[in-house]
Structure 1
Amino acid sequence: MERKKEYRLGYRGDIEGLRAIAVLFVVGVHAGVPWLQGGFVGVDIFFVLSGFLITGLLAKEITWTGRLQFADFYLRRLRRLLPALALMLLATCLAASLLLAPSQQLSQSLTGVAAAEWISNFYFAFQKLDYFAAGTETNIYLHTWSLGVEEQFYLIWPVLVYWLLRRKERKVSFGRLRLGMMAFAGLSLVACVVATYRAPQWAFYLMPLRAWQFAAGALIWLEFQEEGGKLHDWGGIGRHKLLLGAVGLMLLLACGISLSANVPYPGLLGLIPTLGAAFVIGSGSAGADTFIQRFLSLTPLQAIGRVSYAWYLWHWPVLLLGYALTGVDTPVYRSAYVAVSLVLAFVSYRFVESPIRHQRWWLSHKRIATCVAFAVMAGSIWVLGRWTVGAGGELSNPAYQRFDISRRDQPLIYAMGCDDSYLSDRVKPCDFGDAKAKHTAVLLGDSIAGQWFPAVAKVFDRPDWRLVVLTKSACPMIDKSIFYPRIGRMYTECDTWRRTVLADLAQMRPDIVLISSQVTSTSEPKEWADESARVLKLVSAAAKRVYLLRATPHLTFDGPDCLAEHAFRPQWLRGHEMCSSSLKEGNSDVVYASIERTLGSFNNVEGIDVSANICPGEVCSAERNGMIIFRDSQHLTATFAATLAPALMNRIKFDNNQSGANK
């Protein structure tokens, strides 16, 4: 039987080193390295590399043979990617079924099924995210979105390259391929930029809107190839590849250090790491041996580059499952989780990925190999599907209902529609009490203010008082436009809502305003205090008395999920974790102290801090004395919030001439 030839571009150590840089970026940002918040651009590097390598392989085969063996190409891709993916999915499925709460398992298993089908990027792109739903950042298969993009790229790219490159009589046209790639890249980039501001989830997760990055890699191969490449030996760049590579590495490093999740991405910003990766790849063409190539070819980078795919697969689920097991998320523990994932990557590479990848049997027995590949996919989907059924069945377990009910234990203002969708800028006040009452109190702020409603309603359930609720989730009462990661852009609806509310407040002239907002973990204390003070100035001018309620202490975990995890785990895995964290977590103390200092400039504004009632002894627990306290990681259950009414009552002052004054 004739052996099928595999077309290769030849080994380049600098490309292996660039793979290492890409995966180190991704692992670093996921592990919480503080100076590498833009490490997510590592995925962009992988996309450019795929465009470069796959286009080169396809073009060489078409050039040398005049045709393209599509079946062989797809089998090679499955041989390269499927075994390690299936191993990761099945191993993490087993671990998650032991460690996670049933509700968490259900969302994980559904994503796992999508990952086994190479479409998890569609799952995340079209997922409807409710404000109070657990974020995708807790999904152990979140990272598989990029594999979906890659596999969809592999599906269409051979057809596109073959159509653009091959002409009649087995002739090829690199000029036509070049123009086609430029047009394809331009259209995809424009669509990506537009979508980044109008449908950011689509721009981030969908292959057609990321295709320009693959096309950039293709253009680099075309421009620097030995046959027909315009820049292969062109003096302007060809003799200055060291500079080209150095600029490329600096662009990548700058992105890793300066970008963060609080910017619209990819959009035009995505051009920077894409160009950086393209420059580095181009600088190593035609056997260039500059300092950049020698650096990227260092032994440690080569070792990491070889296992980059396996490490990418393992690092994210190990980080999340490691935290679920230990309940500890300190830098030391995160480093340990990363080390474990790297060991798993080397083992996976050595015993699964590498042996199968270099086994030519696949192409010698294509029909059998195809059946085996689809059987592995089908088997993975079946196992993950059974996990879905099992997790869904646990949700009806009476023992779980207690935790599920606590998650839905929200103030009734949400059922009344007072707090409108985060995509709306309408002000929808809810009134409680006599509309003609002599005195008016206002509860103002974001969802953190809204959580106080059960307690505030009790405080103002008195004659001659009405309570007006004005809240908008994720919209802090600060004089600053904010970037909202959930929608991937500046939260303009919040700005409009805030301006309208402050104008309405000036007309309302309430007696008392209670205001509260969640403080973001990345906030600079002085900056947040100044921004809050500018809003307080407007509120204090409109109201007789203003009370600033300190934001709720923030757990380092989801309260109900943590309780459910430990309730449903096997006894030998429960350990001594009691679902609690320190009141001192984060920078809330520093921020509130900074805000308190600004209150001295107002004669009618006071701060109220009941953190000691929520976290006695500076320990914040998800449950105390049989009562679940948090309905997620930062919002109190309505049942517990109502118990804080006496603490608020003792701090709020009523004038003696006001009806229903404190007795």
Structure 2
Amino acid sequence: MKLAYRPEIDGLRAIAVLAVIIYHLDLVVGGTQLLKGGFLGVDVFFVISGFLITSIIMSEYHSSQGFSLVNFYERRARRLLPALFTVILLSLPVAWYLLLPSQLEDFAASVLSTLAFGSNFYWDISLQEYGAESAQLMPFLHTWTLAVEEQYYIFFPLILLAIYKWWKSHTVAILLALLLLSLQLAEFVTPFDHSFSFYMLPTRFWELLAGSLLANILYYHPRKDNDTLLSKTMPVFGLYLIVHSLLFIDFESGHPGFVTLLPVVGTVLIIWFANKDELVTKVLSGRPFVAVGLVSYSLYLWHYPIFAFGHIIDRSPGTDDKFYWLLVTSLVSVGAYYLIEKPFRNKKRIGRKVFLGVMIPLMVFLSVSALALLTSASSSQFEGVDAKAEKQKRVTWNGSFEVCHPVNEGTLDHRKCKLSNDKKNILVVGDSMAPDAAWIVGKSFPEHRYIISNCGGCVPMTVEQLSERRRPDRLEKINKIRYSKSALIGIDGVVIMTLMAPPEYIDSYVDFLKANGVSNILIFGNYLKVKDRVSDYYARHNSQEAIESAIRDHFFTEERFVSYDDSMKALASKYSVEFISIKSHVCRSKSECPVFIKDRPFSWDRHHYSVEFSSYLSGVLKESLENTWLGSL
């Protein structure tokens, strides 16, 4: 039994894909990002997918031929794989030409995970934050959504068939219960593990189930045409919910969770109550929306690699560049739709044997090619400058001194660290640089216990300062803890180190510490930052001299970063607390700061200190450290 074509659903697809593309273009109008909630277009896609897939399953299940899992999986493969494999195939040579070894390693690993229908696992494990600047350089980050849908396609038909076999009369109730459980899981997990909640199926399942639930409701309880009031109002209300979400919900709003109900419910209402005589349905069914909706899959597949390679070529693209990317995306997507998508979806044109005869060898070729890229990229990495040594340092600390690093245990709450009764408890506060400070001080004073309060970008901020800027949930969470009196119980001193926090933020935190009886405070200055990973300079040059020269040519020179030492020194003087400038201790002049200690670089990425450099700093700074309160505790 063939389902009736609903053009307004293609119109919804158009809204979804355009929202995602505009979000990824990162266009700014009047100082505000255009469609800052555009990432929610993915959630609209999820609802549509859930509705259509379930409608197909149900219509076939109740037909005379019955439902065939083999045919179902074949249709999904025809829908998804040819276009996806084409994008990967054409991206491989571009990546080989453009990407540096560290980038190529990420690229190859992401391709392999995409081919295994598990790229969402890869991005979660690698802790790639979707909204981060680095995400703009990951050509296949967007495939996490395909992985979620592919996993849903594999498992959901089995779940639905089981429900039909044993609990058919309770189908709606069971699907609703599963939806609510998944939604509650998302709401619970998002504040604690946003990466898992964002990328993984268990916390996204409810969005697909919203469409599935609607398909079941409409199948067993068809909407009557005479429901005029609902037909006239609900699509308008649904469109409002979607548009409101795209305009006003930002990435750090607790999504996915209860806030995601807005675009999900909006999509459900439009699909549920759409009818040919209603205004929203007429607009969405119009040729412009339907035309975009038909090529929406190709648009989604192609736009992100094109944008990512564009960002790699030019790290500061202008508006003209972005519109050029958009034009290329549009042309390539239309071509791919007519030359790849449509032919492969047509069983009469391309039979099953031919389809498998093309897809299987192509998948093997892509896998082998990605493995070759991964091997070549990994072999070119310099052993001493990758993240492995850093991760080892931050987990074990080589047994040199006693450290509690809560983030390694999955929490930002340093109050969960056990305090020592026999040692002095030193709280080390900062962003991702805080562990470097702990290493420097701990090597000099191993007799103390160190408790670290940090996460990436998590500089100290008051509630008022948090409200003035876009903030990740983790930033709000950790600073609510830092600015609580209970956070200072049993603490004998505080060490502060950030990359370049605004001075007023550190000022507020030091003021809080002093007001609550903490007099032992030490602030570190920063050191150097370079534009690319240190490993990439190794890949470009053959000698240490050439590498050092290239690194020096790419020092980060933003005024706020360069003047950070002066700002922190003035702040320390204001509150009569200790300040140590790393630069003044190791640099003979502004242009003569050590990049190498013997044959080891100062950083394992762009600015975080290597183990060797941290140990070197501990020795260089030891006398100055002994003259602070640390030496007299």
Preserved CA contact (<8 Å) 1:58 1:158: yes
Preserved CA contact (<8 Å) 1:447 1:471: no
Distance 2:246 2:529 in 1: 28
Distance 1:54 1:514 in 2: 55
2:22 to 2, 12, 28: 28
Written as runs of structure 1 = structure 2, the 5 A alignment for 1:139-538 is 139-161=138-160, 177-196=171-190, 200-223=194-217, 228-230=221-223, 232-238=225-231, 240=232, 243-283=233-273, 285-290=274-279, 292-297=280-285, 299-328=287-316, 333-358=321-346, 360-362=348-350, 365-366=351-352, 368-369=353-354, 371-372=356-357, 376-377=359-360, 379-397=362-380, 400-401=382-383, 403-404=385-386, 408=390, 414-416=397-399, 418=403, 420-422=405-407, 423=410, 425=414, 426-427=416-417, 444-452=429-437, 470-474=451-455, 476-479=459-462, 491=477, 495=481, 502-505=488-491, 508=492, 514-518=495-499, 528=505, 531-538=508-515
Distance 2:18 2:590 in 1: 40
- SS across alignment from 2:299: helix
- SS across alignment from 2:496: strand
- SS across alignment from 1:98: helix
Q: Displacement of 1:197 after TM fit?
A: 5.3
Question: Structure 1's 429 and 384: CA in aligned 2 closer, same or farther, altered over 3 A?
Answer: farther
Q: Displacement of 1:48 after TM fit?
A: 0.5
- SS across alignment from 1:349: helix
Distance 1:608 1:593 in 2: 9
1:447-503 CA-partner distances (Å, limit 9, x unpaired):
424435677689x79xxx988755344154445699999997974699379866633
1:279-305 CA-partner distances (Å, limit 9, x unpaired):
23234x232330x23443455443432
1:83-105 CA-partner distances (Å, limit 9, x unpaired):
01111122223322333343443
Preserved CA contact (<8 Å) 1:515 1:548: yes
- 1:583 paired with 2:557, answer yes
The residue that corresponds to 1:560 in the other structure is: 534
- SS across alignment from 1:140: coil
Question: Structure 1's 634 and 405: CA in aligned 2 closer, same or farther, altered over 3 A?
Answer: closer
Residue identity (%): 22
1:562-590 CA-partner distances (Å, limit 9, x unpaired):
4256459xxxxxxx9998365328x7689
Question: Structure 1's 279 and 504: CA in aligned 2 closer, same or farther, altered over 3 A?
Answer: same
- SS across alignment from 1:471: strand
Distance 2:570 2:525 in 1: 13
The residue that corresponds to 1:632 in the other structure is: 605
Q: Displacement of 1:258 after TM fit?
A: 3.3
The residue that corresponds to 1:543 in the other structure is: 519
Distance 2:306 2:595 in 1: 24
The residue that corresponds to 1:7 in the other structure is: 2
RMSD after superposition: 5.2
Preserved CA contact (<8 Å) 1:145 1:205: yes
Distance 1:409 1:176 in 2: 50
Question: Structure 1's 43 and 564: CA in aligned 2 closer, same or farther, altered over 3 A?
Answer: farther
Distance 2:265 2:584 in 1: 49
Letter in 1 for 2:605: D
Distance 1:233 1:157 in 2: 33
Letter in 1 for 2:112: V
Preserved CA contact (<8 Å) 1:429 1:469: no
Letter in 2 for 1:52: F
1:312-337 CA-partner distances (Å, limit 9, x unpaired):
11222233333333444555545544
Preserved CA contact (<8 Å) 1:25 1:36: yes
Q: Which ranges of structure 2 fall in alignment gaps of 5 or more residues?
A: 28-32, 543-549
Q: Displacement of 1:347 after TM fit?
A: 2.8
Distance 2:205 2:82 in 1: 25
Distance 2:341 2:588 in 1: 49
Question: Structure 1's 112 and 307: CA in aligned 2 closer, same or farther, altered over 3 A?
Answer: same
Distance 1:616 1:11 in 2: 70
1:230-289 CA-partner distances (Å, limit 9, x unpaired):
465324413x2xx32232223223323333333433222222221121123234x23233
Distance 1:644 1:442 in 2: 19
Preserved CA contact (<8 Å) 2:127 2:195: no
1:386-407 CA-partner distances (Å, limit 9, x unpaired):
432453355345x744644897
Distance 2:244 2:591 in 1: 40
Letter in 2 for 1:237: L
Letter in 2 for 1:414: W
Distance 1:251 1:272 in 2: 5
Letter in 2 for 1:189: L
Question: Structure 1's 51 and 646: CA in aligned 2 closer, same or farther, altered over 3 A?
Answer: closer
1:60-95 CA-partner distances (Å, limit 9, x unpaired):
334453622433332222111110111112222332
Distance 2:618 2:184 in 1: 54
Question: Structure 1's 178 and 500: CA in aligned 2 closer, same or farther, altered over 3 A?
Answer: closer
Q: Displacement of 1:128 after TM fit?
A: 6.6
Distance 1:407 1:180 in 2: 49
Preserved CA contact (<8 Å) 2:128 2:135: no
- SS across alignment from 2:397: coil
Question: Structure 1's 613 and 482: CA in aligned 2 closer, same or farther, altered over 3 A?
Answer: farther
1:209-236 CA-partner distances (Å, limit 9, x unpaired):
43322222234345556x8414653244
Preserved CA contact (<8 Å) 2:252 2:472: no
Alignment length (residue pairs): 603
Distance 2:567 2:348 in 1: 66
Preserved CA contact (<8 Å) 2:513 2:519: no
Preserved CA contact (<8 Å) 1:550 1:607: yes
The residue that corresponds to 2:545 in the other structure is: none
Preserved CA contact (<8 Å) 1:45 1:277: yes
- SS across alignment from 1:286: coil
Distance 2:65 2:118 in 1: 32
The residue that corresponds to 1:47 in the other structure is: 46
Distance 1:658 1:488 in 2: 30
Question: Structure 1's 350 and 200: CA in aligned 2 closer, same or farther, altered over 3 A?
Answer: same
Distance 1:346 1:325 in 2: 24
Distance 1:624 1:342 in 2: 50
Preserved CA contact (<8 Å) 1:59 1:165: no
Question: Structure 1's 561 and 494: CA in aligned 2 closer, same or farther, altered over 3 A?
Answer: farther
